Structure 1
Amino acid sequence: MQSKFPTTLKLLTFLYSFVFIFSAWEPASRAVWVAEIIPVVAVLAIVWLISKNTPLSKTSYVFLFIWMFMHTIGSKYTFAEVPFDWFNNLIGSERNHFDRVAHFSIGFFAYPIAELLIRKRVCAPFWAGLFGLLAMISVAGLYEIIEWWYAELAGGDEGIAFLGSQGDIWDAQKDMLMDTLGALFSLGVMAIQRPEFVRQAKLNKG
């Protein structure tokens, strides 16, 4: 019997398994690794469950796994210590911006959220995109609250490593901004791929 799951999902999961094993092998902090890897595994399980009945597009799967790959790598080193000098030097910053890029990538989830709503015919493409954007803004705020809670609970170096603020008092706000920009970027891709998305937006504006 032919598998119901898309080849893209199976291939990306296979590749992700190597990243997962790599991250689990002697991470910088085992406690931080466990705390960071739990949401990734949860998202992966949800993606497989959804895909059983409603396969998503290749673009959706790629967007979903970009964040999974980045977050899993961050879990190994802690986000402040990921070897990312080439990018930091490129933008002329002494701060490690791997966490900022990872936050940008989580905004990509707006695309599959909107696509799922469109495929299920829950609402028009414009409203599906708006829901995806607002969903990611909400998730961004919730995650920052969870980070704060865990950092307070764990305390010490472990809490600081999980928080990853690197001394920036506006770290939470900047992370949420990156989540939002990532969501807008992914929805921009959807607008290009789905002309009806733009047409619906113009109709609602008019």
Structure 2
Amino acid sequence: MSKKRYSTIHVALLFILIAVFIWSAIKPKTYLDWFLEVSPAVVVIIIICATYNKFRFTTFSYSIIALLSILTFIGGHYTYSEVPLFDWIKEEFHLKRNNYDRFGHFVKGLSAIVIREILIRLTPLTKGAWLTGISISILLAVAALYEIIEWLSTKISKGGRASKDFLGMQGDKWDAQWDMFLALMGCLLALLIFTKLHDKLLKRLT
């Protein structure tokens, strides 16, 4: 696949992200919660765009980043505990909670592929157990950092409504542990399924 073709796909992904971002910014539940939710994704997208000519990821990694950003924009618009589709699933299957946040953390395990690509291309690490172990460790560290940020938001705002929406515990005291566990499960599954495909795409890139 030519470099020009990759560039076309990347531009298309960026336009999709911009469209979803604009939609998410139109009358979200609260603008404070929206800002807290979408800011990390926006920062990542800006960094990726600014470094695009110096460091170009595989299209697979760009697609993962786009997917995770879209999920974040949706969660920011509705809040993670009130996404309509998952409210319907909750009612239809008589669940105790809206599981969009759990779904989101599980899918965030895909970012292990992006982490893996960065390590392969920018560090002396080679493919093998060390690469896999460090990729998993970095993903878990990021997941834990996000939970710490959520916790700090409740302390700074002294338990305000926006911080509760951002935290999204829905009455589950083990919510942070569930989020990190599901991120780990998503990470392990992503590495198990996509490692060989990722290696092939990296060879094409070089």
TM over 0.5: yes
Distance 1:112 1:64 in 2: 8
Other-structure match for 2:98:
96
Which of 85, 88, 91 in structure 1 is aligned with 2:87?
85
Q: CA deviation at 1:50?
A: 4.0
Against the structure 1 CA distance between its residues 184 and 50, is the aligned structure 2 distance closer, same or farther, given a 3 Å change threshold? farther
Which of 143, 146, 151 in structure 2 is aligned with 1:143?
146
Superposition TM-score, scaled by structure 1 size:
0.85
Distance 2:17 2:152 in 1: 29
Distance 2:181 2:18 in 1: 30
Other-structure match for 2:186:
182
Q: CA deviation at 1:8?
A: 2.6
Q: CA deviation at 1:68?
A: 0.4
Against the structure 1 CA distance between its residues 171 and 55, is the aligned structure 2 distance closer, same or farther, given a 3 Å change threshold? same
Q: CA deviation at 1:90?
A: 6.6
Deviates more, 1:180-189 or 1:134-143: 180-189
For structure 2, the 5+ residue unaligned runs are 201-206
Q: CA deviation at 1:146?
A: 0.5
Other-structure match for 1:131:
134
Tell me the secondary structure at the aligned position of residue 27 of structure 2.
coil
Deviates more, 1:28-37 or 1:151-160: 151-160
Query: Is 1:106–1:179's contact at 8 Å kept on the other side of the alignment?
Result: yes
Query: Is 2:113–2:198's contact at 8 Å kept on the other side of the alignment?
Result: no
Against the structure 1 CA distance between its residues 90 and 136, is the aligned structure 2 distance closer, same or farther, given a 3 Å change threshold? farther
Distance 1:112 1:90 in 2: 35
Against the structure 1 CA distance between its residues 192 and 20, is the aligned structure 2 distance closer, same or farther, given a 3 Å change threshold? same
Give the CA RMSD over aligned residues: 2.3
Against the structure 1 CA distance between its residues 6 and 133, is the aligned structure 2 distance closer, same or farther, given a 3 Å change threshold? farther
Q: CA deviation at 1:48?
A: 2.2
Distance 2:198 2:26 in 1: 42
Against the structure 1 CA distance between its residues 46 and 192, is the aligned structure 2 distance closer, same or farther, given a 3 Å change threshold? same
Output one character per residue of 1:75-110: Cα deviation in whole Å (capped at 9) or x when no partner: 011111111234435765231000011111222111
Query: Is 2:68–2:107's contact at 8 Å kept on the other side of the alignment?
Result: yes
Percent identical pairs in the alignment equals 35
Query: Is 1:8–1:61's contact at 8 Å kept on the other side of the alignment?
Result: no
Other-structure match for 1:202:
none
Other-structure match for 2:204:
none
For structure 1, the 5+ residue unaligned runs are 197-206
Distance 2:127 2:94 in 1: 39
Output one character per residue of 1:111-148: Cα deviation in whole Å (capped at 9) or x when no partner: 01111222346211223332221111001111101100
Other-structure match for 2:61:
60
Instruction: Say how many residue pairs are matched.
Output: 195
